[in-house]
Amino acid sequence: MPSITRDEVANLARLARIALTDEELDHLAPQLEVILEAVARVGEVAAEDIPPTSHALPITNVVRPDEVRAGLSQQAALSGAPEAEDGRFRVPRILEEEA
């Protein structure tokens, strides 16, 4: 497998908009080479008779079906509000113009 060069690391950093010093480029090139080699080894291990999976163990959908239930009444919802007005929460104005 060809090794990753310092110039390639600099190009990747530029594409990712990451500013790297010369020392960082020299330090990262060998590290990225090790990472690429590890990924290549994983590709070698994968056997064609093993189907691709998203999880190591089989999983099932754990989401429960929606059920209609009674919610809070307006009075109960507003009972803990610091301020209420006309059956609604009253909050401080954050915009100057009238909506």
Q: What one-character-per-residue DSSP string does 25-43 give?
A: HHHHHHHHHHHHHHHHHHH
Ramachandran sector of residue 17 (left: φ over 0; alpha: ψ -120 to 50; beta: rest): left
Phi, psi of 18, rounded to the nearest 5 degrees = -115, 125
> Which tens digits make up the pLDDT trace of 13-27?
999 999 999 999 999
> Which tens digits make up the pLDDT trace of 64-81?
888 999 999 999 999 989
* pTM > 0.95: yes or no: no
Q: What is the DSSP letter of 16?
A: T
Three-state helix/strand/coil letters over 44-80: HHCCCCCCCCCCCCCCCCCCCCCCCCCCCCHHHHHCC
Architecture of domain 6-45: Orthogonal Bundle (1.10)
